[in-house]
Amino acid sequence: MGVGGCRLKATGRCIYLMKVSEILTFDVYWPDKRFWAKRPVRNGSPVMMVGDNIYHRNDITENWIQEDSHHSNQDGSMNIRNLTTDTRSINVLISNHFYYFGSAAPFVDLSMIGYRNGRGHRKMSLQDANVAAFVKNIEDYHRSDRNIVSADPFDFEGAEKRVDQGTGKISK
């Protein structure tokens, strides 16, 4: 689950919820034909600009490559802070069972599952009755939203802009 924060004025809103169906490394994700459409095209449509298939390693040096993307510097060069943040884990989580609400994210009762907003990730188990009830509630109420993009992302009108993961600031 991804929840919104203060900058988006989305605290307490569920932006996405997913069951992980596959875990790939960046180096497997990058060349996989299923995900070529997720490679960013900076002179493309807004959807094409914000593709998330942006990291892979040089086959010879094994140095990271950050494709020109919304996570790069203004001139398209590598943003080291974003690279460091984004590649703390080498895994990419794939889902074939998800809800993506974007800017139409519903308010949810995060206290029900003991969740507090903050950077980073937390693991919660569906074995926990409160977590299971929380997920069931979203799945029941949003049944028709499964595996579709319900709304554009927050800040989508600025798809051509770049973001700094360290500061959370979007370039002008």
pLDDT per position as a tens digit, 67-126:
998 888 888 899 999 999 999 999 999 999 999 999 999 999 888 888 876 676 777 888
Q: Is residue 146 one of the residues assigned to a domain?
A: yes
Could you give the residue ranges of the DSSP H alpha helices within the chain? Answer: 26-29, 46-49, 80-86, 129-141
pLDDT of residue 71: 87
Q: Return the higher-pLDDT residue of 29 and 69.
A: 29
Answer positive or negative: Cα dihedral of 27, 31, 36, 40. Answer: positive
Q: Is residue 113 one of the residues assigned to a domain?
A: yes
Residue range of the domain that includes 139:
1-21+95-156
pLDDT of residue 91: 95
Indicate the number of domains in the chain.
2
Helix, coil or strand: residue 152? coil
Q: Are residues 85 and 131 in the same domain?
A: no
Q: Are residues 102 and 85 in the same domain?
A: no
In terms of Cβ atoms closer than 10 Å to its own Cβ (0-12, 13-18, 19+), residue 144 is exposed
* pTM for this model (two decimals): 0.80
